[in-house]
Amino acid sequence: MSEVVERSPTLRRRELASRLRELRKQAGLTVDEVARELLCSPPKISRIETGTRPATLRDVRDLCVLYRVDDAERTLLMTIAQEAKQQGWWRKYDDLAIESLIGLEIEAQRISSYESSVVPWAFQTEQYARAVIKGILPRIEDRILEGRVTARMTRQELFRSADPPYLWSLIDESALLRTVGNSNVMREQLFKILEVADTPNATMQIVPLSAGAHPALDNSFTLLEFDSSTQSPVVFVENLTGNLYLERESEIMRYRDVLEHLRAYALSPASSTKSVRRLLNSRTLLT
């Protein structure tokens, strides 16, 4: 099995957190009461229940005793805790800063995104990715740059796995018109977009410039959805000062609504493909 499609420790940690939070509520205990029983601080229990702090096997054992969990549930929780401790392939790229996102991508059933300024990572060629990263971070060290490019290409293996997530990508037309790298890089990039869009587990739509102002005009984001009753959808928003992971139902509904608006504004998948082919032909004629 490819390393990129191993079970995600990120989602295991979140699943464990959700299960432990629900068990505490079923036991009729507050966070403060659990902390007193386990002789620890309330923030520790809160962090375990939100997945921001990994639960140790001892934590899980003690919580199972406190919540009077049966043997089958205890065994399951201990297994999940073990899997949550595993190191994902991306850990060797210590400069990525999107470890949680990659872990969620691996377990997602459906990934929907809008990209306002560049070709989305799932469609990028190696040369385009290198030019984008270098352009955003002109002072980046060569070693770190190559590590990021390699990691981005490795992430794409997810869509070539035996059970890939469904990818629905909305791309602003400006991303296709902007020359990144040079003309040769852009020609290869347009070919790659057509190649990915032609796969059965992907839908690509272009949001044309003629759409004018729209709800995501100044934003790029990704909605990740899972085939799991214990994992709610997550919206990932990336910016220069940090990454946001949004999970509240109101936030998810807002981004779903934006996606529906964008799909209505966008060209159809077939028309989007034709548009990319026209751009490709025009670049070929110019060389």
Task: For the chain, give every domain's residue range.
Answer: 3-84, 103-118+158-286
This prediction has a pTM of 0.74
Least confident of 98-102, 155-159, 187-191, 268-272: 98-102
Confidence at 97, pLDDT banded by 50, 70, 90: low
Q: Give the SS3 label for residue 64.
A: helix
Mean pLDDT across the stretch 212-241?
A: 84
Q: What pLDDT shows up at residue 81? A: 83
Closest CA to 167 of 178, 177, 155: 155
pLDDT digits (tens, 9 = 90+) for 189-214: 999 999 999 999 999 999 999 999 99
Per-residue confidence at 87, pLDDT binned at 50, 70, 90? low
The per-residue pLDDT for 120 is 95
Bridge partner list, 78: none
Strand ranges of the sheet holding 221-225, from the earlier edge strand across to the other edge: 202-207, 166-172, 110-115, 221-225, 234-239, 242-246
Q: What is the distance in angstroms between the CA of the first residue and the CA of the last residue of the chain? A: 42
Question: In a 10 Å sphere around its CB, with 0-12 CB exposed, 13-18 middle and 19+ buried, how is residue 253 labelled?
Answer: exposed
Tell me if 168 sits within 8 A of 255, measured CB to CB.
Answer: no
The mean pLDDT value of the chain amounts to: 87
Three-state DSSP state, 181: coil
Contact 268, 204 (CB under 8 A): no
Beta strand 202-207 with 110-115 is unpaired
pLDDT tens for each residue of 241-261:
667 888 889 999 999 999 999
Q: Is the pLDDT of residue 111 over 50?
A: yes
Q: Helix axis angle, 126-136 relative to 183-197, nearest 10°?
A: 120
Sign of CA dihedral 193, 232, 221, 49: negative
Under 8 Å CB-to-CB from 174, ≥6 apart: which residues?
Answer: 116, 117, 209
Q: Which of 102-111, 170-179, 246-255 has the lowest mean pLDDT?
A: 102-111
pLDDT at 2: 47
Share of the chain above pLDDT 90, in %: 52
Question: What is the pLDDT confidence band of residue 92, given thresholds at 50, 70 and 90?
Answer: low
* Residues 64-74 pLDDT 10s: 999 998 888 88
CATH topology of domain 3-84: 434 Repressor (Amino-terminal Domain) (1.10.260)
Q: Where are the alpha helices (DSSP H) in 124-268?
A: 126-136, 142-156, 173-177, 183-197, 249-265
Q: Return d(Cα 35, Cα 63) in angstroms, integer.
A: 10
- CB atoms inside a 10 Å sphere around CB 248: 10
pLDDT digits (tens, 9 = 90+) for 25-38: 999 999 999 999 98
pLDDT, position 248: 87
22 or 83, higher pLDDT: 22
Residue 227: what pLDDT?
A: 82
Alpha carbon distance 12, 82 (integer Å):
9
CA 37, CA 59: separation in Å to the nearest integer?
A: 12
Report helix, strand or coil for 233.
Answer: coil
Query: Does residue 113 have a pLDDT over 90?
Result: yes
- The model's confidence at residue 106, banded by pLDDT at 50, 70 and 90, is confident
Given this model, what pLDDT does residue 285 score? 58
The proportion of the chain whose per-residue pLDDT surpasses 70, expressed as a percent, equals 88
In single-letter form, the type of residue at position 162 comes to: A
**What is the rounded CA–CA span in Å between residue 10 and residue 108?**
11
Q: Please name the residues in contact with 182: beta carbons below 8 A apart, sequence gap of 6 or more.
A: none
